[in-house]
């Protein structure tokens, strides 16, 4: 048993210390990479770009680290505005309306990680292996309404919390086929679910009933979990060749992707034993956790009673009517991207439009516009800047740089989430990456090929060799 736990710890430690999925260049350009992603970093953005790597040397990812976090309201500026002040009704309404539109106070944590030495590109093919950690926590807007307004004019307050935590390994094979004026690309992914824990929205419900005389309510949270899931997904992309230094592209990422849990998997066969526990009891596929609470007539005359609030958690069977383990699928968010770019002698400008189809994990069902610039003014030292806008104050400001010398590529990127400055940002993303290529490096500038040199003179325009010989004699 100890050996299995050590094995799990080593796997997770290697992924978090040495690797990444979301590369520093993408972070610095605020995600505007649908038509400019390079080599192994085209996977997850537009696999068609791999077609234009066939004349470039290979890429091998050595490691790095990437962390990201954000929320939908709190920042240093908003905390300073709330601290020590009495809110007016208009200010309360602004806060509540905003949280209710966004599903409560939400916190997202994510890490997109790549296993070292297992991300390799050569020619028009890429092998990739990436680990994604995704989590979402949300406090109900009704809880904030109760704090700000009390029980006045709020007879029924929704107190349903949100929770989803998932770890997934993506194993992908990508290839692209060039045509005369465009290229198409495809990535086929095997999604190995590592773990999942989340509240089932169909079976979880909590509320708080308020009256002028008392407050009471009840709640039920059905926490389902899985270990060792599996699924499949594909990325499809199209990109044009450069015409007058312009390029356009479109892609669909994670099309029809989902992960099935409580099914046989290679990870379960390897570990043999379920690693998760609840209250000291080991969990399994056939059980779930049910947490319930009850508030009984909270009034001024019985505040000293010890039975006002009761709660319990129990491990319940997760079986269907035939006594078989209930299987469930979790969709892996799909992203649609479209963009264009212009490549100058010393600058690259790229712009994207992207959207998800649901508000889950790294996806939002809202259009996001991004623009980024990469400066090549200094040899081997690209400088990057990016900005994106997703509505209201959901902005992102990115910056970064790289060092590309010989076979070594070191890149760093940092971005402010939902804010342009440190005091207004509501999250951040930091990314550092190390990549190896050939000793010639990877030059992204446009250079004339030998075929683009001066045209040879026609034979009839050349001087007659015999006449030249006679003249010389």
DSSP result, 332-385 = PPPEEEEEEEEE-SSEEEEEEEEEESSSBTTB-SS-EEEEEEEE-SSTT--EEE
Domain CATH code at residue 289: 2.40.160
CB atoms within 10 A of CB 239: 31
pLDDT in tens, 344-360: 999 999 999 999 988 88
Q: Which two tokens stand for residue 386?
A: 């990016």
pLDDT in single tens digits along all 473 residues of the chain: 444 443 333 333 333 333 345 789 999 999 999 999 988 999 989 999 999 887 677 899 887 788 889 888 888 888 887 766 667 777 777 787 878 777 788 888 888 777 778 889 988 899 998 888 889 888 888 777 777 776 656 677 788 888 999 999 899 999 999 999 999 999 999 999 988 989 988 888 888 887 767 777 888 999 988 888 899 999 999 999 999 999 999 999 999 899 998 887 777 777 777 777 787 788 888 888 999 988 776 555 555 555 667 888 888 888 888 888 888 888 888 999 999 999 999 999 999 999 998 888 778 888 999 999 999 988 889 999 999 998 777 889 999 999 988 889 999 999 999 888 888 899 999 998 889 988 777 765 544 444 444 444 454 544 555 455 545 44
Q: Is residue 473 part of a domain?
A: no
R_g of the chain, CA atoms, integer Å: 28
Tell me if 193 sits within 8 A of 261, measured CB to CB: yes
**CA distance linking residue 254 with residue 357, whole number of Å:** 11
Q: Is residue 12 part of a domain?
A: yes
Q: DSSP E strands: which ranges in 102-214?
A: 105-114, 120-122, 125-139, 156-158, 162-178, 182-199, 205-210
Q: Is residue 458 part of a domain?
A: no
Q: Which two tokens stand for residue 171?
A: 């194993």
Instruction: Decide: helix, strand or coil at residue 121.
Output: strand
Q: Is residue 111 part of a domain?
A: yes
The model carries a pTM of 0.81
Residue with token string 């796997």: 11
Query: Residue 424's domain spans which residues?
Result: 2-450
Q: Is residue 60 part of a domain?
A: yes
The dihedral of CA 395, 251, 132, 283: what is its sign?
A: positive
Report which of 299, 103, 292 is spatially closest to residue 209, judged by C-alpha positions. Answer: 299
Q: Is residue 232 part of a domain?
A: yes
How many domains are contained in the chain?
A: 1
Tell me if 232 sits within 8 A of 41, measured CB to CB: no
Q: Which residues contact 293 (CB under 8 A, 6 or more apart)?
A: 206, 218, 219, 309, 310, 311, 312
Name the strand (E) or helix (H) holding 372. strand 368-375
Phi-psi bin for 460: left (phi > 0), alpha (psi -120 to 50), beta?
A: alpha
Q: Is residue 133 part of a domain?
A: yes
pLDDT in tens, 14-58: 333 333 457 899 999 999 999 999 889 999 899 999 998 876 778
Tell me if 229 sits within 8 A of 265, measured CB to CB: yes
Q: Is residue 459 part of a domain?
A: no
Name the strand (E) or helix (H) holding 219. strand 215-240
3-state helix, strand, coil in the chain (%, to 5): 20, 50, 35
């Amino acid at each position: 048993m100890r050996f299995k736990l050590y094995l799990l710890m080593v796997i997770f430690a290697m992924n978090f210390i040495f690797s990444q999925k979301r590369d520093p260049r993408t972070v610095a350009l605020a995600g505007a990479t649908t038509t400019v992603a390079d080599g192994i970093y085209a996977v997850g953005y537009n696999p068609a770009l791999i077609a234009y790597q066939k004349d470039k040397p290979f890429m091998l990812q050595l490691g790095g680290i990437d962390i990201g976090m954000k929320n939908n309201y709190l920042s240093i500026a908003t905390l300073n505005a709330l601290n020590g002040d009495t809110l007016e009704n208009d200010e309360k309404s602004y806060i509540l309306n905003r949280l209710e539109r966004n599903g409560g106070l939400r916190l997202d944590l994510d890490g997109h990680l790549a296993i070292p030495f297992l991300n390799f590109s050569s020619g028009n093919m890429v092998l990739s292996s990436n680990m994604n950690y995704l989590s979402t926590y949300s406090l109900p807007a009704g809880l904030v309404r109760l704090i700000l307004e009390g029980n006045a004019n709020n007879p029924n307050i929704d107190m349903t919390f949100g929770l989803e935590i998932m770890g997934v390994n993506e194993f992908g094979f990508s290839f692209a086929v060039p045509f005369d004026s465009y290229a198409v690309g495809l990535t086929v992914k095997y999604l190995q679910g590592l773990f999942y824990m989340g509240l089932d929205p169909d079976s979880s419900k909590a509320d708080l009933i308020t009256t002028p005389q008392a407050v009471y309510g009840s709640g039920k949270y059905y926490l389902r979990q899985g270990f060792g899931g599996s699924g499949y997904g594909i990325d499809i992309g199209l990109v044009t060749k450069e015409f007058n230094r312009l390029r356009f592209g479109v892609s669909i990422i994670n099309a029809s992707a989902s992960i099935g849990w409580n099914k046989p998997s290679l990870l379960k066969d390897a570990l043999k034993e379920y690693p998760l526990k609840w209250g000291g009891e080991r969990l399994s596929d056939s059980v779930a956790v049910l947490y319930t609470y009850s508030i009984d007539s909270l009034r001024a005359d019985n505040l000293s009673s010890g039975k006002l609030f009761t709660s319990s958690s129990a491990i319940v069977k997760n079986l269907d009517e035939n006594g078989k383990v209930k299987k469930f699928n979790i969709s892996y968010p799909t992203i649609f991207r479209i963009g264009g770019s212009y490549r100058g002698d010393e600058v690259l400008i790229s712009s994207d439009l992207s959207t998800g189809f649901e508000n889950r994990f790294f996806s939002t069902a809202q259009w996001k516009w991004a623009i980024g610039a990469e400066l090549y003014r200094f040899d081997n030292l690209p400088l990057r800047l990016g900005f994106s806008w997703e509505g209201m104050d959901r902005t992102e400001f990115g910056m970064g740089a790289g060092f590309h010398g010989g076979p070594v590529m070191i890149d760093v990127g940092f971005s402010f989430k939902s804010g342009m400055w440190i005091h207004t940002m509501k999250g951040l993303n930091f990314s550092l990456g190390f990549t190896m290529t050939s000793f010639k490096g990877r030059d992204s500038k446009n250079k004339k090929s030998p075929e683009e040199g001066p045209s040879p003179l026609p034979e009839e325009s050349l001087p007659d060799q015999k006449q030249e010989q006679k003249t010389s004699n």
